[in-house]
Chain A
Amino acid sequence: MMWRRGGDSPAQSSLRCTHIDSVNAVAKPYIVSESNISRNLAGTRRFLRALFSRSQSTLGAALVAFFFFLALFGGQLAPYPKANDQSHDARVSPTLDIGSLQLGAHPFGTDRLGRDVYSRVILGASSIFRTAGLGTAISVVLGSALGMAMGYRGGWLDELLGRVIDALLALPALLLALVMVGIIRNLDLAINSWQAALADEVTLLVIAILYIPVVARVARSAALDIKTREFVAAAEIRGESSAYIIFREILPSAIPALVVEASLRFSYAIFLVASLGFLGFGAPPPSPDWGLMVNENRGGFYRLTPWALEFPALAIALLVIGVNLMSDGIRRAVQKGGA
């Protein structure tokens, strides 16, 4: 794990801006903040240059950025923002107005219910980022805190939680996710409409819970390594609290490893969300969920409207490939600096 060793990697310095507390130093005769800021900018630039020096990583980042843009502005971009419930002419093939080189009325065609596939694919981006993205973020934050505490404190708590985590990791993620969704749904069948409205939140929660142990394990091993360094002993000698040592001394050095882990988790989460949707355990119809759309349009309808299945499937594939390429790039960029 090269990025944890060695002094400073570009990613590390780029992330340093999060814990600088020298704002009040401006009043001093020797001014700090400017050099700090320029240093962090330089670090970020170095990191980005390393990231974009490979065309694969650039492509990955561009794909992710593209879908994120769709997630933010999909509502404005989709020609039929209400394509969830509005039916048009059923089963229209993809059209392209060749003469004026403009997208036709239904560039990706319509599905068996006559809904515009193009609009639905665009609208589906936002729920992916809300569930997979936010779920990953929550799992990274909580998992890091848990793993760091386990790694630093050690002892029986670490032993106990470590075993639980090992047990959880032994089970297939999808299986666990299905069980969890099942449990949550069974909590209160009476208010089904409530369940439907909160379907995305349930998925988000499942992703977060599912990935906390995975992230915790990475954070734990990072903390185990970093805590042997002498600056941690120096902090202990000062009588610092565990929380101070974990968050102020150890965490900054672990961030590169955690960023790599987060990007990797995100790509798994996208796939998991799509799988849940496909199996009918995600958002209920008529949500524009990519996994759900693949399911709705498979089987007999496939021969009639192949495009209604192919375009959402393509969207899933592109986003997953993009995240993977970007994650690989981040890992390399972090390593390059750390080595």
Chain B
Amino acid sequence: MTQLLEARGLGVSYRLGRRWLPALREFNLRLDSGQIIGIVGESGSGKSTAALALMRYLSANGRIDGGELRFLGEDMLAMGAADLRRLWARRIKLVPQNAGAALNPSIRVGPQVAEALKAAKGIASAKASQQVIAGFSDVNLVDPQQVVERYPHELSGGMQQRVAIAMALICQPSLLVLDEPTTGLDVTTEAVILDLLRALIVGRGAGVLYITHNLGVVAQLCQRVVVLYAGEIMEEAPVAQLFASPRHPYTLGLLSSLPKPGQRKAQSRLQTIHGNPPDLRSMGQGCVFAERCPLAIEMCRTQKPPLEEVEPGRLTRCFRWADVAFPAARGAPMQAVALANVDEAGQVVMRTEQLARHFPVPRDLDDMLRGRKPQPIRAVDGVSLRLRQGQTLGLVGESGSGKTTLARIVIGLEARSGGRLELFGADIQGGLRARRHDLLSQVQMVFQNPQNSLNPYRSVRQTLRRPLVKLRGLSTQAADDQARQLLEAVNLRADYADRYPDELSGGEKQRVAIARAFAAQPSLVICDEPVSALDVSVQSAVLNLLADLQAEHGSACLFISHNLSVVGYLADVIAVMYLGQIVEIASADALFRAPSHPYTEALLAAIPAPDPSQRNERIRLADDLPSAQNLPGGCRFHTRCPRNIGEICAREAPPWRETGPGQGIRCHIPLDELAVLQAGAS
């Protein structure tokens, strides 16, 4: 094992106006060939900066402040542009986060990859194209002879990512840098790509840097982990030890704030790290994490802790690393969320019956010439759900399964093309404009993207005042008093009322958006992926807040997420959606137990567990989600189903098998057989 890359005391700054902001400080790293090191951190932690700096590929407004950087013993900081270019072409390869944007849209993917091969090895075109096809089949691209002829936009996100990985691997680099290569993908696709990476990287002898925010991915793939926070290394350790016994309060906080599979809000609240990451422009003397650290003492605020080796091969930047293992470090024991009484016979707040939304597709020239009518896109196709007062209904599925369209129909932003919708016992016809005033205030929504959900020209006070005045008929005076209480309820200081959205962090924006939704005292709140855009350290606080507010108001909640752990934590009942249909409805406890629908099983298996000792590879969904315009016949899932039992699945729509009151599974396989199959596999 040779030492591949070594960085010592590396620092990087970015220019902002006339100032240089130190985005990365005292960065040390040693990477041997054949080793996979994960660099984890939240947004703004400097993880991508670290990756690019290690390649010396910083953008024009960035500079390396100092330190040492050696690649195979050579001083990279002394290299000229031509040397670096040669190095990038031959030895160091980057797989970017968004392969769709990184591939040139006007060149077919085959020639594009061949070009990289030519630059790396000087191989002639004819021979290169042979190798490209071989490289494509290495990354499990189906039918590589066909794929080389396609343009990037003709490939799905997962396929684009495979092409990018093939492009890097085909050059047989010594160093491979992967910058969040699975972040934009569905969990199911992510799981497949991770399996693929593991298989391809191991045994090639290349050193790998894997940049991610996802602790689960690190646990599943890497050997060593570097935890970055606000531009500094907090902790570095072998993966098994880091996850078993973290030696830094930040690592501990991150690990314990993730909802574990099967953890429920009725059992315990989620652990949180309070506060927000510091601003690079105004950093104090002491430890960068001191402001948010439950263990911080006076010394932490005045002195910067050194990165010291506390055990062989383990480094941490904390004065109190020895205390981290003790329960006090975990903060006060977390109480369960005080739940409102969910009465099984409670009022039905929302009921849908065979709800459908088909988007018509305009005819193109080909259709006109052949005189046929194109199939509509069946985003939602016959969904029947029931939601009772105080209950939380989780809705999960891959992107493209129709979750958001369903939510938009319920709230009235989208028209439906079939079926019935009942809210509070009344049949709903027409769009939002036809809805009565009291109905409007009873259904509210929290959106996915905090960046866009607040008007940038409204102060927080103005944002909160409007629903109070408009929907609850309060005077401006009363509304402002109420707004202050709302801010308090979402744990924001009163002076936040005068801030504008650009002065808030992502988590704070989402709190304001939640306050706005609850301002109207709704009986039904629809949450569309409310935490998926947030960093792990702020995610859990927002989830706790949602659970508390919902319990306090006794509101029902339709909670949409692609993250099964999050849904499992928050929801009472979970509906799994696939291609516009509900394939399973189960209580949150039952969902994690057999029998479950094969699709649910695959979703569960795809979650990368933040625990290196747990590996779940038995079930994978190979292909991409079929198009909602050209649905598979029979069972919609049969094309990807790992438990496919043959002809009947392709021929007949499966029956709805009841597993309990209001619960069921849409599958041909009888329940007891499913239970046996799944028990045997695990």
B259-289: which have CB < 8 Å to A?
Answer: none
Stretch from B136-144, B452-460, B551-559, B616-624 contacting the other chain: B452-460
- Is residue B435 contacting chain A, with contact meaning CB distance below 8 A? yes
- Is residue B162 contacting chain A, with contact meaning CB distance below 8 A? no
Assess whether A30 is in contact with B498, with CB atoms less than 8 Å apart.
yes
- Is residue B343 contacting chain A, with contact meaning CB distance below 8 A? no
Closest to B501 in A: A7
Chain A hits for B454, CB < 8 A: 231
In the assembled complex, the CB of B446 is this many whole angstroms from the nearest CB of chain A, namely: 9
Assess whether B470 is in contact with A240, with CB atoms less than 8 Å apart.
yes
Stretch from A20-28, A55-63, A99-107 contacting the other chain: A20-28
- Is residue B596 contacting chain A, with contact meaning CB distance below 8 A? no
Closest to A31 in B: B498
Stretch from B29-37, B437-445, B635-643 contacting the other chain: B437-445
Q: A7-B456, A8-B456, A253-B457 are in contact. Are A239 and B435 (CB under 8 A)?
A: yes
Closest to B494 in A: A30
- Is residue B627 contacting chain A, with contact meaning CB distance below 8 A? no
Assess whether A239 is in contact with B437, with CB atoms less than 8 Å apart.
yes
Measured in the bound complex, the distance between the Cα atoms of B520 and A229 in whole Å is: 21
Closest to B470 in A: A238
Assess whether A22 is in contact with B456, with CB atoms less than 8 Å apart.
no
Stretch from A32-40, A190-198, A295-303, A306-314 contacting the other chain: A32-40
Chain A hits for B484, CB < 8 A: 30
A5-22: which have CB < 8 Å to B?
Answer: 7-8, 12-13, 16, 19, 21-22
Measured in the bound complex, the distance between the Cα atoms of B455 and A252 in whole Å is: 9
Q: A8-B502, A236-B432, A240-B470 are in contact. Are A231 and B453 (CB under 8 A)?
A: yes
Measured in the bound complex, the distance between the Cα atoms of B480 and A21 in whole Å is: 13
Assess whether B411 is in contact with A32, with CB atoms less than 8 Å apart.
no
Measured in the bound complex, the distance between the Cα atoms of B451 and A239 in whole Å is: 22
Measured in the bound complex, the distance between the Cα atoms of B458 and A39 in whole Å is: 13
* Interchain pairs with CB closer than 8 A, number: 85
Chain A hits for B459, CB < 8 A: 22, 32, 36
Measured in the bound complex, the distance between the Cα atoms of B456 and A21 in whole Å is: 15
Chain A hits for B466, CB < 8 A: 238
Assess whether A25 is in contact with B461, with CB atoms less than 8 Å apart.
yes
In the assembled complex, the CB of B495 is this many whole angstroms from the nearest CB of chain A, namely: 7
Assess whether A238 is in contact with B467, with CB atoms less than 8 Å apart.
yes
- Is residue B200 contacting chain A, with contact meaning CB distance below 8 A? no
Assess whether B457 is in contact with A7, with CB atoms less than 8 Å apart.
no
Closest to B469 in A: A238
Closest to A250 in B: B455
B466-515: which have CB < 8 Å to A?
Answer: 466-467, 470-471, 476-477, 480, 484, 494-495, 497-498, 500-502, 513
Within 8 Å by CB of A230, from B453, B467, B477, lies: B453
Chain A hits for B440, CB < 8 A: 237-239
Chain A hits for B413, CB < 8 A: 233, 236-237
- Is residue A171 contacting chain B, with contact meaning CB distance below 8 A? no
Q: A7-B501, A21-B462, A24-B476 are in contact. Are A237 and B445 (CB under 8 A)?
A: yes
Measured in the bound complex, the distance between the Cα atoms of B484 and A8 in whole Å is: 25
- Is residue A249 contacting chain B, with contact meaning CB distance below 8 A? yes
Measured in the bound complex, the distance between the Cα atoms of B260 and A13 in whole Å is: 43
In the assembled complex, the CB of B523 is this many whole angstroms from the nearest CB of chain A, namely: 14
- Is residue B351 contacting chain A, with contact meaning CB distance below 8 A? no
- Is residue B448 contacting chain A, with contact meaning CB distance below 8 A? yes
Assess whether B453 is in contact with A234, with CB atoms less than 8 Å apart.
yes
Assess whether A230 is in contact with B447, with CB atoms less than 8 Å apart.
yes
Measured in the bound complex, the distance between the Cα atoms of B446 and A233 in whole Å is: 10
Interface residues on B, range: 35 or more
Chain B hits for A234, CB < 8 A: 445, 447, 453, 513, 516
A211-241: which have CB < 8 Å to B?
Answer: 229-231, 233-234, 236-240
Q: A25-B461, A231-B454 are in contact. Are A32 and B443 (CB under 8 A)?
A: no
In the assembled complex, the CB of B221 is this many whole angstroms from the nearest CB of chain A, namely: 34
Chain A hits for B501, CB < 8 A: 7-8
Closest to A231 in B: B455
B546-575: which have CB < 8 Å to A?
Answer: none
Chain B hits for A7, CB < 8 A: 451, 456, 501-502
Assess whether A16 is in contact with B445, with CB atoms less than 8 Å apart.
no
Assess whether A249 is in contact with B502, with CB atoms less than 8 Å apart.
no
Assess whether A249 is in contact with B476, with CB atoms less than 8 Å apart.
no
Within 8 Å by CB of B498, from A21, A35, A240, lies: A35
Interface residues of A, CB < 8 Å — how many? 29
Most buried by B among A24, A229, A253: A229
- Is residue B46 contacting chain A, with contact meaning CB distance below 8 A? no
Q: A30-B495, A32-B497, A252-B455 are in contact. Are A25 and B480 (CB under 8 A)?
A: yes
- Is residue B412 contacting chain A, with contact meaning CB distance below 8 A? yes
Measured in the bound complex, the distance between the Cα atoms of B447 and A159 in whole Å is: 30
Assess whether A22 is in contact with B462, with CB atoms less than 8 Å apart.
yes
Most buried by A among B457, B461, B500: B457
Measured in the bound complex, the distance between the Cα atoms of B462 and A35 in whole Å is: 14
Assess whether B470 is in contact with A237, with CB atoms less than 8 Å apart.
no
Q: Write the A318-332 contact mask toward B (1 if CB under 8 angstroms, else 0).
A: 000000000000000
Assess whether A239 is in contact with B470, with CB atoms less than 8 Å apart.
yes
Chain B hits for A236, CB < 8 A: 413, 432
Measured in the bound complex, the distance between the Cα atoms of B462 and A231 in whole Å is: 13
Assess whether B497 is in contact with A30, with CB atoms less than 8 Å apart.
yes
In the assembled complex, the CB of B26 is this many whole angstroms from the nearest CB of chain A, namely: 30
In the assembled complex, the CB of B335 is this many whole angstroms from the nearest CB of chain A, namely: 31
Q: Write the B391-432 contact mask toward A (1 if CB under 8 angstroms, else 0).
A: 000000000000000000001110000000000000000001
- Is residue B449 contacting chain A, with contact meaning CB distance below 8 A? yes
In the assembled complex, the CB of B466 is this many whole angstroms from the nearest CB of chain A, namely: 7
Chain B hits for A28, CB < 8 A: 480
Measured in the bound complex, the distance between the Cα atoms of B432 and A8 in whole Å is: 30
In the assembled complex, the CB of A272 is this many whole angstroms from the nearest CB of chain B, namely: 33
Measured in the bound complex, the distance between the Cα atoms of B467 and A199 in whole Å is: 51
Chain A hits for B471, CB < 8 A: 238-239
Assess whether A233 is in contact with B498, with CB atoms less than 8 Å apart.
no
Chain B hits for A239, CB < 8 A: 432-433, 435, 437, 440, 470-471
Q: A35-B498, A237-B413, A237-B444 are in contact. Are A12 and B457 (CB under 8 A)?
A: yes
Measured in the bound complex, the distance between the Cα atoms of B496 and A30 in whole Å is: 10
Measured in the bound complex, the distance between the Cα atoms of B283 and A55 in whole Å is: 35
Measured in the bound complex, the distance between the Cα atoms of B251 and A141 in whole Å is: 55
Measured in the bound complex, the distance between the Cα atoms of B122 and A224 in whole Å is: 48
Assess whether B435 is in contact with A32, with CB atoms less than 8 Å apart.
no
Assess whether B456 is in contact with A237, with CB atoms less than 8 Å apart.
no
Chain A hits for B449, CB < 8 A: 230
Measured in the bound complex, the distance between the Cα atoms of B444 and A84 in whole Å is: 68
In the assembled complex, the CB of B533 is this many whole angstroms from the nearest CB of chain A, namely: 11
A180-204: which have CB < 8 Å to B?
Answer: none
In the assembled complex, the CB of A6 is this many whole angstroms from the nearest CB of chain B, namely: 9
In the assembled complex, the CB of A106 is this many whole angstroms from the nearest CB of chain B, namely: 50
Assess whether A237 is in contact with B432, with CB atoms less than 8 Å apart.
yes
In the assembled complex, the CB of A299 is this many whole angstroms from the nearest CB of chain B, namely: 54
Measured in the bound complex, the distance between the Cα atoms of B495 and A36 in whole Å is: 12
Q: Write the A246-271 contact mask toward B (1 if CB under 8 angstroms, else 0).
A: 00010011000000000000000000
Most buried by A among B435, B456, B477, B480: B456
Q: Which 8 A-B pairs have the closest CB atoms?
A: A252-B457, A7-B502, A8-B502, A230-B447, A230-B453, A229-B452, A231-B455, A239-B440
- Apart from A32-B459, A239-B440, 20 more pairs, CB < 8 Å: A7-B502, A12-B456, A16-B457, A22-B461, A24-B477, A25-B461, A25-B480, A30-B484, A30-B498, A36-B459, A236-B432, A237-B432, A237-B440, A237-B444, A237-B445, A238-B440, A238-B467, A238-B471, A240-B470, A252-B457
List B residues at the A interface (Cβ < 8 Å).
Answer: 411-413, 432-433, 435, 437, 440, 443-445, 447-449, 451-457, 459, 461-462, 466-467, 470-471, 476-477, 480, 484, 494-495, 497-498, 500-502, 513, 516, 520
Could you list 20 examples of A-B contacts with CB < 8 Å?
A7-B451, A7-B501, A8-B456, A8-B502, A19-B457, A22-B459, A30-B497, A32-B459, A36-B459, A230-B452, A231-B453, A233-B413, A233-B445, A236-B413, A237-B412, A237-B445, A239-B432, A239-B433, A239-B471, A249-B455
